[in-house]
Amino acid sequence: MESTPLLETRGISKRFGSVQALFEVDLKLHAGEVVGLVGDNGAGKSTLVKSIAGNHTVDEGTVLFEGKPVTISGPKAASDLGIEVVYQDLALCDNLTVTQNMFLGREETNRFGLLSEATMQRQAAETMKSLAVTTLSSVSQNVARLSGGQRQSVAVAKAVMWNSKAVILDEPTAALGVAQTRQVLDLVKRLAERGLGVIVISHNLHDLFEIVDTFLVLRLGQSIGSYTKTETSQQEIVEAITAGQLSHVPGQDSDEIRNES
């Protein structure tokens, strides 16, 4: 039997009105492992992430962290546990500097309650350096001036700065060029080397094959299965994404069935 997963979901289900966005989804993420979460548009990937991070309340199922069931009520609760999510839109504050963004909500203050700007800047610079983010000339520049890849790096660095144990990245390379995608992929590998568990959502199987250990395929809100990278092929994953066997026929209790044909 393998070790206890860092993060696990058991039978997560979530409906939006008549749409069954998730149906009994199981996911396992171990420390030091990269899981690729794949599926077509609307398969439920983002919804699964938001359910884990406490942005959605789930209808059914449990989330376990380090083997213990947890209820995560929001972003704060998630990061208190050590789970950080980097959403597709990043949500950085353009009017703040790299350092100010990285410390947002967790600023350090001196005994007078004033911000310890210099201390935070050094720590931000050290984090960037430890993640080998070298494309950033200064952590005191405004985020507004950064390129897409640099912004992604800031968002990831922000997520891993806090002794986080699990990091979830929603389409981290979707808007990036070749060189910048490279930077982010390398960054993901480095996170896993550090012992973090990483979930990466992406539509780019080629990129994913380079960084993940296992794939979890979702289709119409259901888990098609988990595939170990070394024992699968791009073709098998593509088939699972587009035509994987569903255990539960969607629309049995709603009028969704028309979408199936």
Partner 1 sequence: MTSTTRSSTPEPARQTLGEGLNTWIANVRAGDIGSLPVILGLIAITIIFQVQNDRFLSAQNLTNAIVQMAPIAFISTGVVFVLLIGEIDLSVGAMSGVGGVIIARLLVPDGNEINWVLALGVAAIVAVLVGGVHGWFVTKLGVPSLIVTLATFFMGTGVVLALAGQQGLIRVQDPTVIGIANTFLSDTIGWLVAVSAVAIYAISLFVTDRANLAQGLTAGSWAAFGGKVTMAAIVAFGTVAITNADRGLPLVGLILGVTVVVWLTIAERTKFGRHIYAVGGNAEGARRAGINVDRIKISCFMIASFMAAFGGLVLASRLRSVDNSAGGGNLLLNSIAAAVIGGTSLFGGRGKITNAVQGALVIAAVESGMGLLGWPSDRKFIVTGFILLLAVSVDTVTRRARQTSGRA
Ligand X SMILES: Nc1ncnc2c1ncn2[C@@H]1O[C@H](COP(=O)(O)OP(=O)(O)OP(=O)(O)O)[C@@H](O)[C@H]1O
Which span (36-44, 138-146, 195-203, 249-257) binds partner 1, by CB under 8 A? Answer: 138-146
Residues 126 to 165: which contact ligand X by CB under 6 A? none
Quick check: 119 binds partner 1 (CB under 8 A)?
Answer: yes
From ligand X, partner 1, Mg ion, none, which one binds at residue 100 (CB under 5 to 8 Å depending on kind)? Answer: partner 1
117 binds partner 1 (CB under 8 A): yes
Distance CA 222, CA 23 (A): 5
Q: Which amino acid is at 16?
A: F
- Out of 16, 115, 118, 233, name the contact with ligand X by CB under 6 A: 16
Q: Is 75 near partner 1 (CB under 8 A)?
A: yes
Binding mask 31-70 for ligand X (x = CB under 6 A): --------x-xxxxxxx-----------------------
**Nearest one of 251, 134, 108, 146 to 187, comparing CA atoms:** 134
Task: Name which of ligand X, partner 1, Mg ion, none residue 147 binds, using a CB cut-off of 5 to 8 Å depending on partner kind.
Answer: partner 1
Provide the pairing of β-strand 68-70 with 60-65: antiparallel
Closer to partner 1 at the Cβ: 126 or 253? 126
Helices 178-193 and 148-160 sit at what angle, rounded to 10 degrees?
10
146 binds, among partner 1, ligand X, Mg ion, none (CB under 5 to 8 A by kind): partner 1
Residues belonging to the chain: 261
Name the binder of 41 from Mg ion, partner 1, ligand X, none, CB < 5-8 A by kind. ligand X
* Residue 110 to residue 29: CA distance in whole angstroms: 38
Of 97 and 214, which CB lies nearer to partner 1 in the complex structure? 97
**C-alpha 251 chain-centroid distance:** 29
Smallest distance, ligand X to C-beta of residue 113, A: 39
Nearer to ligand X, 41 or 252 (CB): 41
Cβ atoms within 10 Å, residue 148: 16
Residue 107 sits in the site that holds partner 1 (CB under 8 A): yes
Q: Which two tokens stand for residue 19?
A: 């749409």
Nearer to partner 1, 60 or 94 (CB): 94
> Contact with ligand X (CB under 6 A): which of 19, 96, 125, 174?
19
Binders in 76-95 for partner 1, by CB under 8 A: 76, 79, 87, 89-95
Pairing outcome for strands 60-65 and 19-29 = unpaired
d(CA 151, CA 174): 13
Give the bridge partners for 69, in sequence order: 64
Amino acid identity, residue 196? L
Beta carbons within 10 angstroms of residue 202's beta carbon: 22
Contact criterion met (CB below 8 Å) for 136 and 167: no
CB of 238 to partner 1, least distance (A): 32
In the complex, which residues of this chain contact ligand X (CB under 6 A)?
A: 16, 19, 21, 39, 41-47
